[in-house]
Structure 1
Amino acid sequence: MVTVARRVAYGEGRDLLISTTVDVVAERGLRGLTFRAIADRAGVNNSLIAHHFGTREALLAAALEWAVEQSIESSGLLDLASEQVFADTLLDAVSRRPQLQAFQYEMILEARRNELFRAPVAKLYTRYHEVVIESLRHYGVDGDVDALARSTFAALDGLVLQYMAGVDPEELRAALVQVWTSLRPVLGTSAA
């Protein structure tokens, strides 16, 4: 059977390849990632991948940046509205698009084995750290919030990983509410 590559509108090919890469890695792991697997899933010719990215490493680095931004946008990290809203928004975002988290965790593990991915993974954590700092500043937290932001994100990261592993969502919701609640004294009355 011959598969005919679909035509992709100008300017949409790169994003299609990135989102497809995230899906393939989330489903098959990095060992299952080939240009052919991406092309087949996206319905395009695999030369489009080489055209846009050149190498597998460049494709994965671009996909990692994209996945981080998609996660931030959908997670509620920028809006600590209330304990319950924050917990619900975060868990809902992960349940709707678990492939974003699965892909990021795959890349984090790969960075331990392959130093080519250490810088992109460090960039991932830097970006999340910046977003948590921005959120804390939004609620009026002054001074050095570096350690607070890092520890807050570490708690959230761990809870999301547990969710991905199948821990009871209600237990995790309660833990997420507790993370938010523990921030309340620092955030002041604007977070109540």
Structure 2
Amino acid sequence: MSYGTGRQALLEAAIRVVASEGLRGMTYRSVAAEAGVSHASVRYHFGDWSTMLEEALAYCLETSASDTVLASTGPGFDGFADALIAMVTRDPDIQAFQYELTLEARRRPELRRMVERVDESYRELVRRELTRNGIDDPDVAEAVYMTLDGLVLHQTTTPDAERTDRALVALRRLLANDAAARDAARSPA
């Protein structure tokens, strides 16, 4: 491991450990073994287990929660969420890590705040993209967020890019129809 890459290697190792063993499998020793370093290195970089978990989650957000994942490639909803399948296919462990954390937060309330912050980041990306395309409705944004979350879960657990893509095409069509109806309602007759 070259200088300066230790922290990132440990974050990536923590994500892989949680994706394969669940959150309860994430220990200093398991992360160190996955990264190929001593467990003292984990303590040196993060100090405690909670900090390691929070920083791994922040790393996941940096990697997956960007405008480019949801942004339309053209006018309206053409290409909306096109990068979603590629993102999940490229690194399904990042998504599995987040789902594991979500499930564990159900059992451990002290983790709920972390999960809520993650969900809110994704919700904001959806709201921003919908508003940019003429849909400023929090309920529609929530429905789209939940739909995308379900598609990511499906793609993470049972990868089927063709099926996920068909669902995205249908979602884009629904959003385009909704935007057109809203635009027609705002236009004077």
> What is the CA–CA distance in structure 1 between the aligned matches of 2:15 and 2:118, rounded to whole Å?
15
Q: 1:84 to 1:98 in 2, by over 3 A?
A: farther
> What is the CA–CA distance in structure 1 between the aligned matches of 2:65 and 2:135, rounded to whole Å?
20
Note the 1:51-66 alignment, pairs <5 A: 51-66=44-59
> What is the CA–CA distance in structure 1 between the aligned matches of 2:55 and 2:82, rounded to whole Å?
29
Match of 2:125 in 1: 131
| 4+ runs deviating over 3 angstroms | 82-88, 185-188
* Kept after mapping to 1: 8 A contact 2:67/2:125: no
After superposing the two structures, state which structure 1 stretch, 132-141 or 27-36, moved more: 132-141
> What is the CA–CA distance in structure 2 between the aligned matches of 1:104 and 1:75, rounded to whole Å?
19
Deviation, structure 1 residue 152 = 0.5
Of 121, 125, 137 in structure 1, the residue corresponding to residue 115 of structure 2 is 121
The sequence identity of aligned pairs, in percent, is 36
Query: 1:115 corresponds to which letter in structure 2?
Result: P
Unaligned ranges ≥5, structure 1: 1-5
> What is the CA–CA distance in structure 2 between the aligned matches of 1:124 and 1:132, rounded to whole Å?
13
Cα displacement string for residues 74-129 of structure 1 (whole angstroms, at most 9, x for unaligned residues): 9721x122667446521121111110111010000000011121100010111101
Note the 1:28-177 alignment, pairs <5 A: 28-73=21-66, 76-77=69-70, 79-81=71-73, 85-86=79-80, 88-142=82-136, 145-166=137-158, 168-177=160-169
Q: CA RMSD in A?
A: 2.4
Unaligned ranges ≥5, structure 2: 181-189
Describe the SS at the equivalent of 2:17: helix
Query: 2:122 corresponds to which letter in structure 1?
Result: Y
> What is the CA–CA distance in structure 2 between the aligned matches of 1:136 and 1:169, rounded to whole Å?
23
The TM-score, its normalising length taken from structure 2, stands at 0.82
* Kept after mapping to 2: 8 A contact 1:87/1:177: no
After superposing the two structures, state which structure 1 stretch, 109-118 or 65-74, moved more: 65-74
* Kept after mapping to 2: 8 A contact 1:129/1:153: yes
After superposing the two structures, state which structure 1 stretch, 22-31 or 91-100, moved more: 22-31
Q: 1:74 to 1:149 in 2, by over 3 A?
A: closer
Query: 1:33 corresponds to which letter in structure 2?
Result: M
> What is the CA–CA distance in structure 1 between the aligned matches of 2:78 and 2:17, rounded to whole Å?
33
> What is the CA–CA distance in structure 1 between the aligned matches of 2:91 and 2:68, rounded to whole Å?
10
